[in-house]
Structure 1
């Protein structure tokens, strides 16, 4: 163990930056150290998909009661996704689909009294079958509320007949394609009763057993998806019969025991939102995994930057982290990652207090997902580049994170779409009041003044976006005319929230060393964001020309402070290379490669 991992500053930084308990992290670190999670080369996509399901079963065997994990222990559930995101991006997908979207939906929406559902819950909990979730359709992606899969009630048999009426309505792209893995799905479809559309509801449908797709279910593989070995497919239903007991309508029953309609729907939109309720938890699962992947990438890249030496003038050997260009990119990535991790921690606590369906929680989930996953996308790419050619190889753990972060940008609601939805709610004044547009004099290296600057910009963008919406009668035209400003409002609101939360965390530090490091990271993040908007602030008069010109120099001063602390910060992320097993994260990475790829008789210098 290197000194950075055991220093008092590292311990306090870990307590302030990490989510979850030490016991949870220790348990999952041990779980993911198992041989089944060793890196494996030379497998086909189908073999990698099968490996992901073996790993899923291994995790399930170690977790304890699945229902308790899904519905009663959000913190442990999210920490599990963090570790999966670090070690196996494909596992993240199958974890959140099986536990959250499928099993979670059955437990939350099915009620606890139907023996048919209890049997399904038992089967999924034992992992005799793997759970999947079928919502999105080929022609209905971000407008999934308009889906066309039909579930027509047959009163004579007390069943629903599940049908795909057109190519547009084929379910795209659930993980239903791998042979030999029994699958039970939660399928979203439009419930039709006596010719009337009752809205979108979830149905529990067995779609394949160990021998293949069941009668009436057509599954066609979508082929390879680089980086994620998920068995994505297009799924079509041809008259599949589903017993009424497998309709998940406990919170608003549609059909009474006598087969008659129980009453008119209060809101078809509300029924759709209820059917999709687990997607909100899914946002947290994927965002947690993505943030952890960014931190792990930095852990590896920063350690390698100090271990990898080059020769400079005078024959001196120096770490590549000595180079200003190398420092600037990795420290920018480090500050941004710490900042959005703090934002995510706050959002996870807010979500735990709930309710998930509240406007405030849904806005926080959407904006946090967008900021975290877009940041992680940049950070992972930077880490690969700064590790040189070695960073491209999967055995060094960083490159597999590319597919995870790219997938997370669009999964559980495309970032651009959820950001716009959140901003539109803000513009309508739903559980949101814009901050005051007051700046005053101050220094750009004062966190309080940075907060005033971002509050000022948020207020001004809010006012401009409200004005751009106008008073037209067409809601779409009003929203679309202000879309660019709305997206910027969502982003700036997220940055302001991040600064607030990061500042609060820095003030909780008790040791001078930890507070100094956290404040430097906060300022490094804030000044980079301020530089992005500097022209606007200069025109607005909230920054002087001297302050604008001073931003690069201020960042340089912060980097000089942060370079010697960078290994301490990444050590505070709580990873060890005993778990990650990345050769380039070793202090002697050449020896690590000699052990990975031995050549008999060849000495080490």
Structure 2
């Protein structure tokens, strides 16, 4: 069964006879949402009671039952513990030390470090939940379990790993240098093969080659690193490989290694450092070997790959799983931010239109509408992340390149959307959101790290655009020639195919720019095409999110939950389409009547969805212990703040 067929089946199920008829015919047969008489229920004094079956079904779709206990349940329970509550008044050093202590609690929770490192679903789940509590912990866990241990397991290293799995030593990953980040294949650190001694000499040739990475300081105890360096044999550069390198012991940094802590960065603090090596001798077994590179006893490199760039990419293949982890962190943090902001919107009361009247923030569509739009995106982010994680976990050598590209595209879109959501949630909570105690301020700042980690988003999309300009084709669900006649803005298939048309339009522009560019000037030709190429990738990311959303709707058994998800998906798609109405009109895919009807259709959806704010965030399943420690997540938030100040030693 092809993907296109599965999508059609999903849409037919989504719009099946059990679905609630949320739309009625309006002008031009466009099916505008009927406005319900009377005020939306969130204008009531308090949030409405949660409908348990509805929330259970939504939760069922967000967290597959097969994964919920072994993956999500473990990490959810972990962040519910008191050790993961916000601690005020700590210095930067104390906050970093706290994150390392929490890392050891993570390790106590792990059944098997090897199993965790090898399972992208488990790793993603760890990031999805810990990001809501401690962004620095999330980064430390990502480095230790995915980049460090994962690299060891992906190569031939099998023995002597107990110091790392028991956390006697913390693992780090040193790839980027001061002058080489996204162009890491050009890094300058060298590991020269010493024929006489049988080992390697690891060296930093100059200031530009200092490793610019966390987390190599003495904080957290002894450390070892997987270091990316150029393998040099008899003066010949064989490209970048990984070398297992002890950095410190209980007494401090080892000889020949220089570690200088960098100034504080934004967000939860991680011990970022500059790390350099002065002719550090490493044993023969320090080289991490696999089929892409093995060194014979005679000092000859044997490789299944003749291309040095391919060998490098294989050496750092763990970065792809790292992209999934960064996406997961953004998904989890976004859901946490929305859970807090929606609860605050119900509890915060302001002056009403009549003298002496008090109404909650949810009485105002200008307030709850923004949260609903963010919720629609957060659901799309979650469904896309589930789909991409499953595809990466099941990838084959034949589809690896395509799947890696999808992981990269999703990482950029999800982390960018997450940052936007967290900014929105912070702003919706006003000055209260500026205080880390209320759970939002650090989330917003930590989002910047996810945007940059494991590859800056813009270069990731530039690479994807270059690969997709030629030879990529997105199919419509409706094979008939695109025409706006008789099409309805309530039709998910129609809206989804409009996104496909947007992708195709930008792809055509990119192809045209490349073909018309001046020969002999490849950079100039790409500069002319890159803007259109990036728009193509952006539309592709949103289309993949829409397909994942639609597939989730098709899996939803409960009619009420399915109807709610349909409306939420419509809101997501209408938002996305609204940015491209000019192009779609010019290309004949939308009519002027469609464009006129689009804003009221979005507004009507916001009205219809308003009463479901609470169940939509309750389905995120944040632990009550986590929410109980956040004052603005409660109706008695003013008293909660006062109680906290009374209990504070300051």
User: TM-score w.r.t. structure 2 length?
Assistant: 0.87
Asked if the contact 1:138/1:170 (under 8 Å) is kept, the reply is yes
1:522-601 equivalences under 5 Å are 522-580=569-627, 581-598=629-646
Q: Partner of 1:394 in structure 2?
A: 436
Q: CA deviation at 1:5?
A: 5.2
The farther-off stretch of 139-148 and 356-365 is 356-365
Q: Distance in 2 between matches of 1:62 and 1:142?
A: 34
Offset of 1:525 from its aligned partner?
A: 0.9
Which residue of 412, 436, 439 maps to 2:482?
A: 439
1:17 aligns with 2:62: yes
| Counterpart-to-counterpart distance in 2, 1:264 and 1:550 | 58
Name the structure 2 match of 1:109: 155
Q: Residues 475 and 358 from structure 1, CA distance in 2 versus in 1: closer, same or farther, beyond 3 angstroms?
A: farther
Alpha-carbon distance in 2 for matches of 1:588, 1:395: 15
SS of residue in 2 equivalent to 1:173: strand
Aligned 8 A contact 1:29 1:579 in 2 = no
Separation in structure 1 between the aligned mates of residue 364 and residue 83 of structure 2, nearest angstrom:
39
Q: How does 1:124-135 map to 2 (within 5 A)?
A: 124-135=164-175
Separation (CA, whole Å) in 2 of partners of 1:367 and 1:265:
26
- 1:464 corresponds, among 499, 509, 512, to 509
Match of 1:358 in 2: 400
Map 1:237-276 onto structure 2 (within 5 A).
237-262=277-302, 266-276=306-316
8 Å contact kept, 2:483–2:590: no
Displacement of 1:475: 4.2
Q: Distance in 2 between matches of 1:110 and 1:548?
A: 59
Change (3 A) 1:589 1:423: same
Distance (Å, rounded) in 1 between the aligned partners of 2:135 and 2:248: 24
TM-score (norm 1): 0.94
Q: Which residue in 2 is equivalent to 1:234?
A: 274
> 1:262 & 1:369 partners in 2: Cα distance?
34
Tell me how far apart the structure 2 counterparts of residues 576 and 468 of structure 1 sit (CA, whole Å): 51
Q: Describe the shift of the 1:265–1:372 C-alpha distance in structure 2 as closer, same or farther (beyond 3 A).
A: closer
Q: Distance in 1 between matches of 2:50 and 2:125?
A: 20
Q: How much has 1:341 moved relative to structure 2?
A: 1.3
In the TM superposition, what whole-angstrom CA distance separates every residue of 1:104-160 from its partner, at most 9, and x where no partner exists?
101111343xxxxx21x2111011111000000111111111001011111000111
Number of equivalent positions: 590
Work out which structure has the larger RCO, using CA pairs closer than 8 Å and 6 or more positions apart in sequence.
2
1:428-453 deviations in Å (ceiling 9; x for gaps): 32xx4233594223112211111121
Residue 290 of structure 1: how far off its partner (Å):
0.9
1:474, CA displacement in angstroms?
Answer: 4.8
Matched residue, 1:283:
323
CA contact (8 A) 1:216 1:238 kept: yes
Change (3 A) 1:41 1:255: same
Question: Could you tell me whether the CA contact under 8 Å between 2:334 and 2:421 is conserved in 1?
Answer: yes
> Is 1:498 matched up with 2:538?
no
In 2: Cα distance, 1:243 partner to 1:276 partner: 21
- Structure 1 Cα separation of the partners of residues 331 and 181 of structure 2: 25
1:263–1:28 distance in 2 versus 1, CA, 3 Å: closer
Say if 2:128 is the partner of 1:82.
Answer: yes
Deviation at 1:599, TM superposition (A): 8.8
What is the alpha-carbon distance in structure 1 between the residues aligned to residue 344 and residue 168 of structure 2? 43
Gaps of 5+ in 2: 1-46
Q: Tell me, yes or no, if the aligned pair for 2:96 and 2:219 is still in contact at 8 Å.
A: no
Using the TM superposition, give the Cα deviation of residue 82 of structure 1 relative to its aligned residue in structure 2, in angstroms.
1.0
Measured after TM superposition, the shift of residue 477 of structure 1 is: 3.6
Q: Which residue of 2 aligns with 1:100?
A: 146
Partner residue of 1:61 out of 98, 108, 116: 108
DSSP-derived class of the 1:575 partner: coil
Partner of 1:115: none
- Structure 1 CA distance for aligned equivalents of residues 220 and 407 of structure 2: 36
Structure 1 match to 2:20: none
Cα drift, residue 405 of structure 1 = 1.1
